[in-house]
Structure 1
Amino acid sequence: MFADFLRRLTTPDPAPLDRADARLALTALLVRVARSDGSYDAEEKDKIDRIIAARYDLSPFETADLRTRSESLEAEAPDTVRFTRAIKDAVPYDERIAVIEALWQVVLADGHREAEEDALLRLVSNLLGIPDLDSALARQRVEKR
């Protein structure tokens, strides 16, 4: 289903993603982090829905559709390293910082941090070209909300 999209995303020199594809890839990354602890529950899905609805100004139907498509993409996407590096090459830095904040929102959605989630978020931040300090500051901003 997403073979062409993934092929374009993981080419050695990917073109910048258009807005719709960037939404899909970044939402798939949210799903991947939410699934990283082996539990992908209603709280995490609700948090992802709220994040993408606000971030992209989507209706409830559009939100559900984007999350559903992103769940499918995440399941088909290559390993986290290649997938995240591909996003880094195709998405501007300022959008990647906002994604780190959104990822922290998902990690903290259930009220506690799991070691697997922390490890994956640290890896993802690094692969997205976000320094540890900026990721920590993003986490602190999320925790203050």
Structure 2
Amino acid sequence: MLSSLKDFIDSLRPAPADASPSVAEHLLQLATAVMLVEVMRADATFHADERDAVLAALRDKFALTQTEARRLAEIAETTAQKATDLFTFTSRINERFDMAQKLRMIEHMWNVAYADGHLCEHERHVLWRVADLLHVPKGAYVQARLRAQAAAGV
């Protein structure tokens, strides 16, 4: 229990400037996974398709195996439940992702939102907040949504 708490607290700290690339990469992966999970958690009902969309996004974004993606999603769910804000995670993403990578992540988030065949207002709000914190231009945000909508056939 104490080890899990320490790991969680450590994950919220900014990566030290001299952190190894693997530590910084793991923290970036966790931050991204938390954002995807936040969309999944925003919906009042759980759909396995949303979890599958989160796993697919993690595999695509970071070239993870199914097992690695599943484990990262589990850690992200626990972290998201304990988190008090999104800035901790979006600031890490802002440090490491260029705009194209941010847009791809937003598109993955839209894919999670549409995975169950509909979009709820809470999902839309989470996406809007994250896009704003990532400084994604409104036009690019809308285009990412339209691409995800078309892919989902909604």
Q: TM-score range by the shorter chain?
A: 0.7 to 0.9
**Aligned counterparts of 2:91 and 2:125: Cα–Cα separation in 1:** 19
Q: Using the TM superposition, name which of 19-28 and 38-47 deviates more.
A: 38-47
For residue 113 of structure 2, what is the aligned residue in structure 1? 107
Q: 1:40–1:86: structure 2 CA closer, same or farther, 3 Å change rule?
A: farther
For residue 92 of structure 1, what is the aligned residue in structure 2? 97
Q: 1:69–1:84: structure 2 CA closer, same or farther, 3 Å change rule?
A: closer
2:13 pairs with 1:7 = yes
2:42 pairs with 1:31 = no
State the percentage of identical aligned residues. 28
**Aligned counterparts of 1:114 and 1:8: Cα–Cα separation in 2:** 32
Provide Cα deviations, 1:94-120, integer angstroms capped at 9, x if missing partner. Answer: 321111001100010110111111122
For residue 144 of structure 1, what is the aligned residue in structure 2? 150
**Aligned counterparts of 1:140 and 1:41: Cα–Cα separation in 2:** 22
**Aligned counterparts of 1:95 and 1:40: Cα–Cα separation in 2:** 27
For residue 4 of structure 2, what is the aligned residue in structure 1? none
Provide Cα deviations, 1:25-61, integer angstroms capped at 9, x if missing partner. Answer: 1011100111112333311111111111222222221
Give RMSD over aligned pairs.
2.3
Number of residues of Structure 1 aligned to a counterpart in Structure 2: 141
**Aligned counterparts of 2:97 and 2:40: Cα–Cα separation in 1:** 23
DSSP 3-state at the match of 1:18: helix
Q: 1:63–1:88: structure 2 CA closer, same or farther, 3 Å change rule?
A: closer
Shift in Å at residue 85 of structure 1? Answer: 4.1
For residue 131 of structure 1, what is the aligned residue in structure 2? 137
Structure 1 outlier segments of 4+, above 3 Å: none
Based on CA coordinates, which of the two structures has the bigger radius of gyration?
2
5+ residue gaps, structure 2, are 1-6
